[in-house]
Amino acid sequence: MATYLIDFENVGSDGLNGTQQLSENDTVIIFYSANSNKLSMEMHRCICKSPAHFEYFAISTGGKNALDFQLSTYLGFLITQSEDKNFYIISKDNGFEHVIKFWKNKFEETEYDISIIRQVAIFVPITEESDKISEEAVITSIEIDEDIRNLINASQIKNEIHAAPEDIADAITTLDSTFSKTSLQKHLKARLGNQEGVNVYKFINHNLENNNRQDFHKNLVAEFGQQNGSAVYNKLKKLVKKQ
């Protein structure tokens, strides 16, 4: 269950890539203006086939950033009114990071347990996401080297996983409420087999150790798909060390 707020003026039809992977529990809200009101026929067909719920907001008045302001305002409304806990801002505009940072700080002060992630499309392959990280992140060369090592390590572990995403999600979501990392590993080995269980645990543990909650959720979705990845995240998020 996730809500996607589309800055259509910024990403166009490309930002809707991945609609076919959404479920009936997902919602896509498209913000568009007179400058961006053309949808490709191919994407129109994908929307028609998608089981997700779609809403459209026409931004007819305002200045240059009118769409950004209205999208951000509606996000705040949804956070307080919606039962959804996973939100995505689909835009290339770095300015939305300030909105995300604001809400992240508020979450730390309250009991809200909500994830907000910005990405350039509904579904972003890992290779594209890696490119985005290298282009947009402002970090030192030492930190870049560390990120590269982490990506390489994660990729090596990822390639060892052969179980179906739905089987992995089912194995993890059946854990009892008192599970720990130790019991998670034992449970995965029992459900998926000794070697496969160890490989899945290594992948999950690597992401738990090296990511905050938002990045952890993003990596799980990239690996297991939107529905299965979110289900795994909701079960394991309490184990994330870096907040």
Residue 85 one-letter amino acid:
K
Task: Give the mean pLDDT of 170-174.
Answer: 90
pTM: 0.55
C-beta of residue 92 within 8 angstroms of C-beta of residue 11: yes
pLDDT tens figures, 118-133 = 989 998 765 444 444 4
Residues facing 31 on adjacent strands = 7, 57
- Express as a percent the part of the chain with pLDDT over 90: 15
pLDDT tens digits along 222-236: 888 888 888 899 889
Q: What percent of the chain has pLDDT over 70?
A: 80
What single-letter DSSP state applies at residue 81?
H
Question: Going along 69-142, which residue ranges are E strands?
Answer: 86-90, 115-119
Q: How confident is the model at residue 147 (pLDDT cuts 50, 70, 90)?
A: very low
Task: Please tell me the predicted confidence (pLDDT) of residue 5.
Answer: 95
Q: Is pLDDT of 239 > 80? A: yes
231 in helix, strand or coil? helix
Half-sphere CA count of 51, side-chain side, radius 13 A? 9
Q: Give per-residue pLDDT as tens, 54-113.
A: 999 988 766 678 899 999 999 999 988 888 788 999 999 988 999 988 888 887 766 667
3-state secondary structure of 179: coil
Residue 201 near residue 173 (C-beta atoms within 8 A):
no
Average pLDDT over all residues of the chain: 80
